[in-house]
Amino acid sequence: MRVVNKITHLEDANGVNCSMVEGLKNIAREYFLDLFQQKDCDRDGVIYAIPTNITTQDNESLTTCFMLEEFRDSAFSMNNDKCPSLEGYNHGFYNNF
């Protein structure tokens, strides 16, 4: 005998159990509509509970504008025969042209 998983009843937001098909559909629909709605919430408690790993000095260094020379040095330091980019060209192509 084959076992079939089946939802026989659900409880709505007011705590009322329902076992009729239309009621089950409505409860599921309302649940997911509520679940995917934007809600006002206070995230500060969560944000402040996460430890900071980047110092202020590191953050300033990471967010400063890069110099063209830094970009050029980085691009030309890559091996020319390594994995191609999404466009299908490897670093040798970009370094050459």
Q: What is the DSSP string of the chain?
A: ---------EE-TTS-EE-SHHHHHHHHHHHHHHHTS------HHHHHHSPP-S-HHHHHHHHSPPPHHHHHHHHHTS-TTS---TTS--HHHHHH-
Task: Map residue 5 onto helix, strand or coil.
Answer: coil
Query: Are both 64 and 34 inside the same structural domain?
Result: no
Domain extent, residue 79, equals 54-96
Chain segment 11-55, per-residue pLDDT in tens: 998 999 999 999 999 999 999 998 888 888 888 888 888 888 888
How many domains does the structure of the chain reveal? 2
| Model-wide pTM > 0.75 | no
Whether 1 and 35 share a structural domain: yes
45 assigned to some structural domain: no
